[in-house]
Structure 1
């Protein structure tokens, strides 16, 4: 089967695309389908050229300002480029919502791939811990105080349905995983212990419309593009528990072209999984 993964994030790391061919290990909702058993070989040179053309010429990209892009496979980066000179593969930056995929992978890894109902609800955003507005965690918060001060209200009317919010993952980290007393540095270290020190994660101060992220599981991580590329490459190479769980426990989001799985989106075309992002 072929697994295609896209990463879209703010602050320069606009698009990373990885794919693996018929021996790939990602298993989405359509895994094992006979029609996808022997996909055509991927022409990475053409894919890289297409990415470069889109980055340089597409009007939507032209309105973004400076950014970095790359394309790769399970073996790592195959092509890269940048618009402008602000960003390259080593530029540290807040990755905002791209933190969710890393946290989802961490949860699966530290639990040996086993998820109970509470963990699933925390990862596919159906737990009911769905705040309105932006989080206001601060760098001096622990994982637990970040949760208690911002996300502790359970919205009973939202239990069991998808609501895109940070509270789900913060409750999961603080309560379900018992990370309540961890500082920013300890939280980052725990994640890297499971997923690899080369992620070079921190939970630095991130400011978005006046909100400070602090040790926010769903949106507070900082790293650089090369580190995230390595994370994605290991994922499509089958090195993580989440590698075989892409698309699992996906729920409806109100958009027929998208479902939400374990910390990542499932992109659909005609009801068939096109990509994970």
Structure 2
């Protein structure tokens, strides 16, 4: 099993390593010129008929490159459209990390990295109210109070980004102002809005708008583009002393980079970068950084089922991985 050292300075180029070594690493079919129609049909068949994608219904999916959408579809009764607005929950984290990287012109401080890789110790965060600002949310309950026991350890929690946002001057912003600030700095249509001023989970977006953000990442138009997978930390407490809490199943060993996951599990991972949300919104970029994809859905189960392997997020990630595999190989997956 691949292990990463605990020092962030030694955790560079994760994506390059896992792409070369993982069992489902992206092959060279894309570069070899496989017909678009073959890849699109394989992805569509997987989304429509693959058993792995059945639990995620209803959903909208798409795959694209830095220039445009290349394939898409709707699966299930009353599936979302490309422009349907949905709460993306933890997919908000990728947007915030990109904002910080842009603000810093790609030169993140050690403190920035600690917060964006969820090792700051601010792990008591519960929720914001829609009427809050970033700072008033921090003052609610124990949201803004650190926990010395989790300092320096990976602990998946919204408190890291909430506190960081207050430290870098976003404290007075409410939902509307926060969304405007993100769009201004990132130059994308995402986020459309916030339903609460929570940097790690408050974004409301559509597949269309979020795809605009992913295309900019693929096209090298954001500082975070060249930093995907960098400073990654281990996340599974079962086999990593530097991890305290993770939302992924105990059998899964991914790493966490700057506001996004690296899906590099030695058994099932393909090295993709992603940021699955509690309600099932799942954006990704493949390990070769050639294309992006989205599973867009909003399952109410996300409000009921929390903890290990939260179902809507996990269902979408598993379905998305199969669609990604179908696209790469030109062969439908089950």
Alignment TM class, shorter chain as reference: 0.7 to 0.9
Question: Displacement, 1:58?
Answer: 2.3
Cα RMSD after superposing both structures = 2.5
Structure 2 runs not aligned, ≥5 long:
1-11, 22-26, 237-249, 275-334
Tell me how far apart the structure 2 counterparts of residues 112 and 121 of structure 1 sit (CA, whole Å): 17
Count matched residues.
Answer: 238
Please say if residues 29 and 273 of structure 1, whose CA atoms lie closer than 8 Å, have aligned partners that are also in contact: no
Tell me how far apart the structure 2 counterparts of residues 34 and 191 of structure 1 sit (CA, whole Å): 31
Aligned position for 1:89:
82
Q: Of the candidates 186, 190, 196, which is equivalent to residue 181 of structure 2?
A: 190
Correspondence 1:223 to 2:209: no
Q: Which has the higher contact order (CA 8 A, sep 6+)?
A: 2
Tell me how far apart the structure 2 counterparts of residues 237 and 108 of structure 1 sit (CA, whole Å): 16
Tell me how far apart the structure 2 counterparts of residues 155 and 47 of structure 1 sit (CA, whole Å): 48
Please say if residues 229 and 273 of structure 2, whose CA atoms lie closer than 8 Å, have aligned partners that are also in contact: yes
3-state SS, counterpart of residue 91 of structure 1: coil
Correspondence 1:104 to 2:97: yes
Relative to 1, partners in 2 of residues 1:263 and 1:59: Cα closer, same or farther, differing over 3 Å? same
Aligned position for 1:266:
262
Structure 1 segments (4+ residues) deviating >4 Å: 32-36
Please say if residues 173 and 179 of structure 1, whose CA atoms lie closer than 8 Å, have aligned partners that are also in contact: yes
Q: Which range moved further: 261-270 or 101-110?
A: 261-270
Aligned position for 2:50:
58
Relative to 1, partners in 2 of residues 1:35 and 1:62: Cα closer, same or farther, differing over 3 Å? closer
Tell me how far apart the structure 1 counterparts of residues 132 and 20 of structure 2 sit (CA, whole Å): 50
Calculate the TM-score normalised by the size of structure 2. 0.66
3-state SS, counterpart of residue 198 of structure 1: coil
Question: Displacement, 1:85?
Answer: 3.4
Tell me how far apart the structure 2 counterparts of residues 34 and 216 of structure 1 sit (CA, whole Å): 33
Question: Displacement, 1:33?
Answer: 9.9
Aligned position for 2:224:
242
Aligned position for 1:144:
135
Please say if residues 30 and 273 of structure 1, whose CA atoms lie closer than 8 Å, have aligned partners that are also in contact: no
Relative to 1, partners in 2 of residues 1:69 and 1:216: Cα closer, same or farther, differing over 3 Å? same
Relative to 1, partners in 2 of residues 1:145 and 1:35: Cα closer, same or farther, differing over 3 Å? closer
Relative to 1, partners in 2 of residues 1:91 and 1:30: Cα closer, same or farther, differing over 3 Å? closer
